[in-house]
């Protein structure tokens, strides 16, 4: 759902990322390990009973990648070094999140088409439970001066630095033109996602070589560092390892490489290739949590036309 999409239910967001609060020394590794262990409990079945991809018994993934690339012990690791387009072409009709289940902390097969409204709420609350959420607009107010635009947000949790800019970049915030009411109809929402995926590819024309699975997985945490750069926020010390900083081009807050719209689009398009059900989950999480307000400020939850009940 990512977002660091990384998300607990379908992790975009997501966006795609699990991080500690700005002012804490609690580790990314600890948060991601907890998430990975919880996720792994879902897959602790015997090999011959496993329908989807899985991690070999006794392996919880690769902590050196903060569980963003678990090739080291994945049942389908031979395909990590190939283009996802080629892999999925060889598995027509198969859910990519099933085939690559547990490949990263945010790639978890969720079974049938989800109730996207319920799943958005679960994703928001799940990520909130891993951080230090103190309430709406209590986090640092940051401004991204980025690709000729200026957009601001309250980073009430660190993953907002990734998810807010990611959604804004793709046009996946409320008030950017998409009909959020379609979330109530899972198939209609998948159709919305399919259309968005087609538009992304029409705009960026990603080659198969740009969609090698290992490359996509290994860019998730560097994208987070590049979001910090775009926001002018120092990267936490426990994220300043070479796995992140080298690919991110991050040396200091004043000597770093901001994330690009193309890199955001490539991250989302990975989920399109893995199945529109999965890209729809990423889209649902992003649009369900935030909106674009006057003055190019990103608002959240009750500030928006739509907010999941109970968040």
Q: Is the predicted pLDDT of residue 32 greater than 60, yes or no?
A: no
- Are 136 and 300 in contact by the 8 Å Cβ rule? The answer is yes
Q: What percent of the chain has pLDDT over 90?
A: 80
Percentages (nearest 5) of helix, strand, coil residues in the chain: 50, 10, 45
Question: pLDDT by residue (tens digit) across 118-159?
Answer: 999 999 999 998 889 999 999 999 999 999 999 999 999 999
Cα 290–291–297 angle (5° rounding)?
110
Those residues whose C-beta lies under 8 Å from the C-beta of residue 281, and which sit 6 or more positions away, are: 1, 7, 9, 10, 12, 110, 114, 116, 119, 271
User: Within 10 A of 23 (CB to CB), how many other CB atoms are there?
Assistant: 8
Question: pLDDT by residue (tens digit) across 199-220?
Answer: 999 999 999 999 999 999 999 9
Q: Is the predicted pLDDT of residue 110 greater than 90, yes or no?
A: no
Is this prediction's pTM over 0.85?
Answer: yes
Q: Is the predicted pLDDT of residue 230 greater than 60, yes or no?
A: yes
Which one has a higher pLDDT value, 45 or 100? 100
What's the pLDDT at 137?
97
**Please, what is the average pLDDT of the chain?**
87
Q: Is the predicted pLDDT of residue 163 greater than 60, yes or no?
A: yes
First to last CA, the chain: 17
Q: What percent of the chain has pLDDT over 70?
A: 84
Cα separation, 117 vs 285, whole angstroms = 9
Cα separation, 125 vs 103, whole angstroms = 23
| Buried/exposed 41-72: b ≥16 CB within 10 Å, e otherwise | eeeeeeeeeeebbbbeeeeebbeebbbbbbbe
């Amino acid at each position: 759902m990512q977002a660091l999409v990384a998300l607990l239910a379908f992790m975009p967001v997501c966006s795609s990322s699990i991080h500690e609060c700005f002012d804490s020394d609690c580790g990314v590794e600890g948060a991601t390990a907890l998430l990975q262990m919880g996720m792994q409990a879902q897959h602790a079945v015997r090999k011959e009973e496993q329908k989807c991809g899985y991690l070999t018994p006794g392996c919880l993934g690769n902590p050196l990648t903060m569980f963003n690339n678990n090739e080291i012990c994945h049942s389908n690791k031979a395909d990590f070094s190939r283009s996802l387009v080629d892999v999925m072409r060889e598995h027509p009709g198969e859910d990519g999140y099933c085939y690559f289940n547990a490949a990263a902390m945010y790639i978890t097969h969720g079974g049938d088409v989800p109730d996207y409204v319920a799943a958005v709420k679960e994703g928001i609350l799940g990520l909130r439970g891993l951080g230090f959420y103190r309430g709406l607009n209590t986090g640092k107010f940051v401004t991204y001066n980025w690709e000729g635009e200026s957009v601001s947000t309250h980073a009430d949790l660190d993953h907002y630095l990734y998810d807010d800019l990611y959604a804004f970049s793709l046009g996946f915030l409320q008030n950017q033109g998409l009909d959020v009411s379609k979330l109530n109809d899972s198939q209609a929402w998948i159709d919305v996602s399919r259309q968005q995926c087609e538009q992304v590819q029409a705009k960026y024309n990603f080659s198969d070589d740009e969609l090698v699975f290992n490359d996509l997985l290994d860019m998730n945490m560097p994208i987070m560092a590049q979001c910090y750069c775009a926001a002018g926020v120092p990267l936490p010390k426990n994220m300043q390892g070479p796995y992140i900083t080298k690919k991110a081009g991050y040396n200091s807050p004043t000597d770093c490489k901001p994330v690009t719209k193309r890199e955001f689009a490539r991250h989302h398009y990975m989920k399109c290739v893995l199945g529109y059900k999965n890209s729809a989950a990423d889209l649902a999480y992003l649009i369900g949590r935030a909106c674009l307000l006057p003055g190019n400020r990103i608002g959240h939850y009750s500030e928006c036309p739509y907010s999941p009940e109970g968040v």
